[in-house]
Amino acid sequence: MAERIVIPGGTLDAHVHFRQPGATHKEDFVTGTRAALKGGYTAVFDMPNNPIPTVTPSALDEKRRLANGNIYVDLGFNYGGTVESSKTFGLVQDRIRALKVYMNPTTGNLLVKTDQELETIFTRWPRKYPIMVHAEGQTFERAINMARKTGQRLHLCHMSLKREIEMVRDAKNEGLPVTCEVSAHHLLLTEEDADSLPTGQGRMKPPLATSEDRDSLWENLDVIDILASDHAPHTREEKDNFEEEKGPYGVTGLETTLPLMLTAVDDGLLTLEKLIDMISTKPRKIFGLREDPRTFTEVIFGESSYVIDSKNLETRAKQTPFDGYRVTGRVANVELRGVRILNEGEIVALPQGRII
């Protein structure tokens, strides 16, 4: 039986890539925040790995200028962590939400290679907000070791492997200030699925893993703090250019995460309380967003099923590995500071998001 549930206080996706400036043919602040709103989020944090990366005060100011007046939900910015940018942490700390450090190669050019560089960045970070880290394989352990050494709050992005979640469990048991996130595609897809997906749709960082890895995420949900979409849009043409492993990494996720996870609740894979904790209570707590009593998202779940159709997405990249998936949950209404901005799935207000 269909049930309407209000998620109070504001929802947050702390990990999205809106591609502006520099790659607005993939996404921009208008289309990205419209996708966020349709997906049920009232706040999102944009990552720094643009063609001109967000590693200087002027690059940050330019993003704020471009976003101002054009965003449908609240938008925060994560700053890129490099040895060079660490000299400017003090200048930008009041205008950013978190630091993002890349310890493995991915889209952009922000790779931090050595532990010495990493320690410089961790030591200079002013501690107000967490350090988000993209770490896979060997680098995962190095990130945890640096949190131990410096006492900094470490947030591990998009976990995908069994040994990663075991390391996070150990780190938490040890009392380290460590939190972590998981994305719906790693909870619901495996490397076997990648073969049957349309060209390029199974290609993301970290890559889809084994079914044993996927199962370990579900078995250790108590260790996982938040859900993040890692919304990383690319055009159809770019994703189809998959010959010889040349296609870009990343899939969209803002509009599919909640319907898929509400369906998982319906299927008994997790509780509604845990889902609400992972998209609302916990991310706000980790990243220091206050609960707003006039902000909420209303979802419907347990209704008759419908099919995700990439053609209907708001994102400029109208594609998803979940195209054609049957789901039983949807986002109905969103109010932001007392104003209805999404009504029965339709955007009904002009952009009134704030830069946070």
Query: Which of 239, 234, 187 is closest to 209 using CA atoms?
Result: 187
Q: What are the backbone angles phi and psi of residue 282, rounded to the nearest 5°?
A: -70, -50
Q: Work out which of 28, 230, 292, 335 binds Zn ion, going by CB under 5 A.
A: 230
Other C-beta atoms closer than 10 Å to the C-beta of 338 total: 10
Q: Does 181 bind Zn ion (CB under 5 A)?
A: no
Cβ-based nearer residue to Zn ion, 287 or 301 = 287
Task: Give the end-to-end CA distance of the chain in Å, rounded to a whole number.
Answer: 38
Cβ-based nearer residue to Zn ion, 130 or 351 = 130
Distances (CA, A) of 130 to 100, 114, 185, 227, 295: 9, 20, 24, 16, 24
Q: Would you say 57 and 88 are in contact if contact means Cβ atoms under 8 Å apart?
A: yes
Candidates 90-98, 225-233, 253-261, 331-339: pick the segment binding Zn ion (CB under 5 A).
225-233
Give min distance, CB of 272 to Zn ion, in A: 27
Cβ-based nearer residue to Zn ion, 205 or 282 = 205
Name the closest residue to Zn ion (Cβ): 230
Give min distance, CB of 232 to Zn ion, in A: 6
Query: Which of 52, 107, 103, 108 is closest to 248 using CA atoms?
Result: 107
Give min distance, CB of 16 to Zn ion, in A: 8
Other C-beta atoms closer than 10 Å to the C-beta of 136 total: 19
Cβ-based nearer residue to Zn ion, 131 or 336 = 131
Cβ-based nearer residue to Zn ion, 9 or 32 = 32
Candidates 160-168, 223-231, 273-281, 301-309: pick the segment binding Zn ion (CB under 5 A).
223-231
Length of the chain: 356
Candidates 19-27, 218-226, 229-237, 285-293: pick the segment binding Zn ion (CB under 5 A).
229-237
Q: Which residues bind Zn ion (CB under 5 A)?
A: 230
